[in-house]
Amino acid sequence: RFEQFRNILLKCSTCHTFPMILVVDDNGRLIGKVSISDLINVFRIHEPDILKTIPFLREDEVNIFDFDLPPELGFLLLVEDIMEADCLTITDDKTIEEAYREMNLNKLNQIPVVDQEGKLVGVIGVFDIIQVIFKDLGII
């Protein structure tokens, strides 16, 4: 949460495969996530505020190659500054069918899994669920 943005990027560049970075507190409880759009919004920090309010200006129109971000940003910006605190989760006592329904309902490809105390257990994705179904059917 209070880690430097730069450190998170360095850690995730070698092991990250999900389109989100999950943020946990010192006790392992999930407190938020950083998504691809949150990372792209780092480039928007230097945009005039009026541009951020234009509803028809889509995020994919941000030219991430056309910004001169200072190197200090990696040390000054904290994960807490850009993370989304509202993070949809499921608990580890749910079935894969319930997980799939929740993902489908919320148009997600993956969802964090927490225990009853809110501690991060892992992430389940549609691909994981399809693999289980294929294994159950003897396809793989």
pTM confidence score:
0.71
The secondary structure of residue 21, as a DSSP letter, is: E
Residue spans of the domains in the chain: they are 1-86, 88-140
The rounded distance, in Å, linking the Cα atoms of 109 and 13 is 21
- Tell me which CATH code domain 88-140 carries: 3.10.580.10
Q: pLDDT tens across 4-44, in order?
A: 666 766 665 555 455 788 999 999 999 999 887 887 777 76
Q: pLDDT tens across 65-102, in order?
A: 777 777 787 787 888 888 899 889 999 999 999 999 99
Is the Cα dihedral 92, 126, 18, 106 positive or negative? negative
